[in-house]
Amino acid sequence: MSSGFPVLPPICLPVHFYREAGRACAHYVQNGGRLRDIRMDENQLLHSPLQLTPPPHGDRSVFPVRKELEEDLDMIEDSWSEHLRSSPRLCLRFLFAFCQAMERQSSGWKNWARIRLREKQVHHRQHIQQRYQEYLTQPNHRTQSVIAHWDPQPGIDAKGLKDLLEERLNQSMGTLSLSQRAVVIQSELLGQNVIIKRYAANPQSWKRKWEHSRARRAWAAANILEDIGLPAIQGLGWLEIYQQGKLQESYFISRQLTEMETLRTWLRREFPHLSASERNRFRHRLRSEILRLQDHGLRHVDLKLSNLLIKGREVEDLVFYWIDLEDLRVGPYSRRTFVRNLYQLNGSLPRNIPRQDRVAFARGFRNQFAFANSPKLMNYVQRKTRKRHQDELKRLQGA
């Protein structure tokens, strides 16, 4: 027996437990109980529906003292974080279910629930931003010409890793992508099947030249997505080459993902066979993936369908994996980023996607951006898409 929620191995708690625990705790409080009085053992915890003991003894008609309720909620979250290693995302899931159940009891709790959730979300996003900066800033590059990080072998010789990477790229085998900005190949490196991405130096504009390398940004973003439990490529390491303190090029190494294809390839093949209800579910799934990033204070500034890998064939079974992680940013999902994402997606869609589906996808964001309902938005998106295509043709023709 233990005070509050018990100490158990993490494997004993399925993800849906946190939502069920939120509802059960709200019911317990509504019946006059106090959360810190809960006593449970391991067997009771794993029962569904969740039964909290001992039974609450109090006046159901009296609202709990809010200060005491907040202290009890903090105690539960601290206990989970310390003993069960629950992520902030799972604690937010518990809190969201708890607040929803409290709102149903009385509208008097609505403002409290919203403020409580908002405070926790802000704290969670600040934690994500802090972790992202920690990944970016270590180690410092000022005293070395070649620096590297390799997770499977932290003490690896940086110059030796550089020679191996250059050898793989010079072989020109397994090339996946080739552009002025980056070269992507698949190969074998130090016993691992990997994807190697070599970036050119940052543009020499005053806004970009002092940024961290794209490789280090991609590695930091991969670790952040792993920390918060979102599907993403697994970063194995990175390498940077400097000359007189200026970045020359950088490498990002990630583990290969098997049985994957780009979202554009999947849409081109599967879209003609989807029913109207399946198209609607697919639009909802794609919007949800974008908004999941927003919930954690993240945004992708190059949201093309080729930057999303998927696994699965049926709409309900699709799992989305973000790539081109150097373009993942920490910060609010602004109106400008939203519109930019729309014309990036619109330009990367296969031509067999009709206009009504494109409009329906944009209007699904109306809860976040009211102007998503406006017909002017899609007209603007279409103009930007045409202009981007024309500019790309000029570049390819050398104009």
What ranges do the domains of the chain cover? 2-136, 141-255, 261-396
Average pLDDT over residues 367-377: 90
How high is the pLDDT of residue 282?
A: 92
Percent of the residues in the chain that have a pLDDT greater than 70, as a whole number: 85
How high is the pLDDT of residue 207?
A: 61
The candidate with the shortest Cα–Cα distance to 187, out of 217, 201, 167, 158, is 167
Specify the amino acid at residue 30.
Answer: Q
| 3 strand-pairing partners | 39
Average pLDDT over residues 381-394: 87
Model confidence at 252, pLDDT cuts 50, 70, 90, reads very high
User: CATH number of the domain at 141-255, please?
Assistant: 3.30.200
d(CA 296, CA 309): 20
Q: Report how far apart the first and last C-alpha atoms of the chain are (Å, whole number).
A: 75
How high is the pLDDT of residue 300?
A: 92
Residue 182 dihedral angles phi and psi, to the nearest 5°: -160, 155
d(CA 87, CA 61): 34
Burial of 201 (0-12, 13-18, 19+ CB in 10 A): middle
HEC string of 303-324 equals: CCHHHEEEECCCHHHCEEEECC
Average pLDDT over residues 178-201: 87
Q: Is the pLDDT of residue 233 over 60?
A: yes
Q: Is the pLDDT of residue 238 over 90?
A: yes
How high is the pLDDT of residue 281?
A: 92
d(CA 118, CA 110): 12
Half-sphere CA count of 111, side-chain side, radius 13 A: 1
Fold of the CATH domain 261-396: Transferase(Phosphotransferase); domain 1 (1.10.510)
Specify the amino acid at residue 141.
Answer: H
Positive/negative CA dihedral, 285, 289, 292, 294? negative
Model confidence at 29, pLDDT cuts 50, 70, 90, reads confident
387/246: higher pLDDT: 387
d(CA 5, CA 9): 12
Q: What is the gyration radius of the CA atoms in the chain, in angstroms? A: 25
Average pLDDT over residues 258-272: 88
Query: In the structure encoding, which two tokens stand for residue 364, read together?
Result: 């699904």
Q: Is the pLDDT of residue 399 over 60?
A: no
Q: Is the pLDDT of residue 2 over 50?
A: no
Percent of the residues in the chain that have a pLDDT greater than 90, as a whole number: 24
Q: Is the pLDDT of residue 327 over 70?
A: yes
How high is the pLDDT of residue 224?
A: 93
| 118 strand-pairing partners | none
Q: Is the pLDDT of residue 381 over 60?
A: yes
HEC string of 185-222 equals: EEEEECCEEEEEEEEECCCCCCCCCCCCCHHHHHHHHH
Q: What is the tens place of the pLDDT at every residue in 34-47?
A: 888 877 665 565 56
Query: In the structure encoding, which two tokens stand for residue 67, read together?
Result: 């200060």
Mean pLDDT is highest, among 165-174, 181-190, 194-203, 356-365, for 356-365
Average pLDDT, the chain: 83
d(CA 334, CA 234): 28
Q: Is the pLDDT of residue 278 over 80?
A: yes
| 328 strand-pairing partners | 300
How high is the pLDDT of residue 24?
A: 85
323: left (phi > 0), else alpha (psi -120 to 50), else beta? beta
Q: Is the pLDDT of residue 141 over 70?
A: no
Q: What is the tens place of the pLDDT at every residue in 71-100?
A: 888 888 777 776 666 666 677 788 888 888
Average pLDDT over residues 142-158: 83
Residue 12 dihedral angles phi and psi, to the nearest 5°: -80, -10
